[in-house]
Structure 1
Amino acid sequence: MSGPVTLGVVGTGWRAEFFLRIAAALPDLRTVGIAARRPDAATAATARWGVPAHLSPAALVRHERPALVVVCVGKSENAAVVEDLALSGVKVLCETPPAPDLHGLRALWSAVGATRGVQVAEQYLMMPGHAARRELVRRGTIGEPTSVQVSSTHDYHAVAMMRGFLGVGTGPTEVRGVRFTAPLVDPLNRAGWTDDPRPRPAGTTLATVDFGDGRSGLYDFTDNQWHNRLRLRRVVVRGSAGELADDTVVRLAAPRTVLHSSISRSQLGQDLNLDGHDTEHLSFDGQVLWRNPFLGQRWMDEEIAIATVLRDSARWAVGDGPGPYSLAEACQDQLVALAVDEAVRTGRPVRTGTEAWAAR
């Protein structure tokens, strides 16, 4: 790249602020403008970020000409904004999901799929822990991956993790699901501590996804599991020669030799380490699986993942590398997530077919 990639952001909410804050710290990116819905929000955005703010995505593109536009709006509005921008020739990175329902997914793909101008900010597999686990699976440490259990995040994010660990594409699936309700204290939400010790009804969704060829996924998510520290997160990947459960790995290493090992995180800034609080790398049996490409920023895992998506999207926008996560992949994630919802609602198996984006 000859200089920083210019960036525009549509939206001023919680997720948009992640992108704006991270972009400001990356020397290869330069935010040139923001699109806000209301004049007061536009004024506040300019005051906070020091760039022009406009009242529509079209005005942002017309006046600032960014190489990449990040769309951070509600899921009911996402598809329309992405379609308008992509058809105007702008490279787009949109938030998840790309559309709220199956009709919207099909319509969006029909409108912009051929442009290949849209990437999606599906960041979970780029988080350090998941990136290291995926690399371990890719190296064949547990043999051929056959099933994935995800009890960590919801909907399309969980599906993306299943598909990523298994290496499955955009083919048909069969989904079954149920939902249970039980009391649970909810001490934290996005706003912070609730200071409420009373158990309240919380729903848990359990679903199985048959991806075909003996590969499967188990979905397990409790309401507000992202923030509720009273529910542990679990990721299990089972393979033909072993399995990993979070950071623990068991595998057949040689005849009559079953080994147990762990994924280890090198965390700076602890005890007498004075290099600043930062994640350095993740390793397994003396081999590095993942290195922090943003060492020195002191970012949490979520910020590292978003920064990775943003950096790779910027390079893709100017023809300097592949995109991080295509619209076709994100449409498939949402398709299966919608099938989970339908299976839970109806109590019947739901089959997804081969959609138009499967060819891409």
Structure 2
Amino acid sequence: MTGKTSFALIGFGWRAEAFWRLSTVLPDVSCVGAVVRSPRSLPVPDFGSLADCLTSVRPDFLVTALPRVANPEVVTDAVARGVPVLTETPPAPDLTGLRRLWDAVGGSGLVQVAEQYLLMPAHAARLAAVRSGIIGTPTQVQVSSTHQYHAVSLIRHLLDAGHAQAVVRATRTVALLLDPQTRQGWTDDPVPKPATTTLATLDFGHGRSGLYDFTDNQSRNQLRFRRILVRGSHGELRDDEIVHLPAPRTILRSSLVRRQTGHDLDLAGFDTETISLGSRVLYRNPYPGLRWNDDEIATATMLQAMAAWVRGEGAPPYPLADGAQDHLIALAVEEAADTDRTVTTTSEPWAATP
């Protein structure tokens, strides 16, 4: 590879700023501009339209970080101009929007989705452990950690459910909960407020099922544990522990161990090095020394994977068909909870995509 693979941002909010900030450190990716609605002070050149951006800086691909209602039109415009797109989640607001977007760009092969959760170190290690066969065939995944399409992505891939239809049942309950932190930081609010918990079961058939459990702001509310359980035919994974049967009449419990530097007299500085299972390294941080948190590591990994794919040097990081399927099931969860009825997802055109 010679030079850097360039990208331009569409929008420059909180998420877009993260892509730009990480790109300033990556050796093979550079952000060359941003398309924003009104001129303002940005660390990169700003443009009033996609056409102006493409004419002026000619990026190799685009990263859209827009409200879900506005996103499909921009993605469609970019694809019509022949530019690859990494679209933020979800790619469209609703099922009608997903169908229209797929009709417009699904056959182009130019659109990827910035679904980064499977690239987070802990989840990547869990996925590697499950795919190693240590718990046999995965049959059920329970996720209580993140919301909607992110949780569905974890469930689908840990089950290897592909684009299978899902029968969804859901319910909601409301209870008091302190909310000490938001994206803006500490709230310093001592009064518990009503918080909604959504519980849903997802039946993918052939003995595969999922449990979705999410409480308002759980992604940032540290008063709720993040929990993940993967049940298999020969054992199960619970968070960072595995129970399995390695030999007849032998039940073992093994742990996923994160090697975190910077504690006590480890003077290397605070950083993630590896996550291992026994003597096997399941995950190795590709950015040693940068002291990034897990979400930063995952986002940078996605950005580099997109750049490698655009160069023809790597696999597609997360195709639109997967992002659409995640949101299709997430919408079914909301519909089932809203109506108190069982919802079966439809088989959509993207389900035929390998």
| Structure 2 match to 1:171 | 164
How far off its partner does 1:30 sit?
1.6
Contact 1:125–1:131, Cα closer than 8 Å, also in 2: yes
CA distance in 2, matches of 1:323, 1:186: 38
| Structure 1 match to 2:35 | 35
How far off its partner does 1:244 sit?
0.7
DSSP 3-state at the match of 1:115 = coil
Q: Does 1:104 align with 2:97?
A: yes
| Structure 1 match to 2:81 | 88
| Structure 1 match to 2:326 | 333
For 1:296-325, what per-residue CA distance to the aligned partner results, in whole angstroms no more than 9, with x for missing partners? 111000000000100000111121111110
CA distance in 2, matches of 1:332, 1:227: 25
Q: Does 1:221 align with 2:214?
A: yes
The answer for unaligned runs of 5 or more in structure 1 is none
- Give the residue type in structure 2 aligned to 1:242: G
| Structure 1 match to 2:178 | 185
- Give the residue type in structure 2 aligned to 1:157: H
CA distance in 2, matches of 1:61, 1:240: 52
DSSP 3-state at the match of 2:135 = coil
DSSP 3-state at the match of 1:272 = coil
- Give the residue type in structure 1 aligned to 2:114: A
Q: Does 1:116 align with 2:109?
A: yes
DSSP 3-state at the match of 1:281 = strand
| Residue range with higher mean Cα deviation, 27-36 or 128-137 | 27-36
Q: Does 1:292 align with 2:285?
A: yes
| Structure 2 match to 1:321 | 314
| Structure 2 match to 1:301 | 294
RMSD of equivalent CA atoms: 0.8
| Structure 1 match to 2:7 | 7
- Give the residue type in structure 1 aligned to 2:185: G
DSSP 3-state at the match of 2:300 = helix
CA distance in 2, matches of 1:180, 1:354: 30
| Structure 2 match to 1:18 | 18
Of all paired residues, the percent bearing the same amino acid is 55
Q: Does 1:239 align with 2:221?
A: no
How far off its partner does 1:57 sit?
2.2
- Give the residue type in structure 2 aligned to 1:102: L
How far off its partner does 1:270 sit?
1.2
CA distance in 1, matches of 2:20, 2:122: 24
How far off its partner does 1:58 sit?
2.4
DSSP 3-state at the match of 2:222 = coil
- Give the residue type in structure 1 aligned to 2:58: R
Q: Does 1:277 align with 2:270?
A: yes
- Give the residue type in structure 1 aligned to 2:35: A
How far off its partner does 1:269 sit?
1.2
| Residue range with higher mean Cα deviation, 218-227 or 317-326 | 317-326
Structure whose residues are more often helix by fraction: 1
| Structure 2 match to 1:357 | 350
How far off its partner does 1:275 sit?
1.4
DSSP 3-state at the match of 2:107 = helix
**Please, what TM-score do these two structures have when normalized by structure 1?**
0.97
How far off its partner does 1:290 sit?
0.4
DSSP 3-state at the match of 2:122 = helix
Q: Does 1:253 align with 2:246?
A: yes
The answer for unaligned runs of 5 or more in structure 2 is none
Selected match of 2:120 from 127, 147, 152? 127
- Give the residue type in structure 2 aligned to 1:36: V
For 1:8-34, what per-residue CA distance to the aligned partner results, in whole angstroms no more than 9, with x for missing partners? 111110000110000111010121111
Contact 1:58–1:85, Cα closer than 8 Å, also in 2: no
Equivalenced residue count is 353
CA distance in 1, matches of 2:198, 2:256: 29
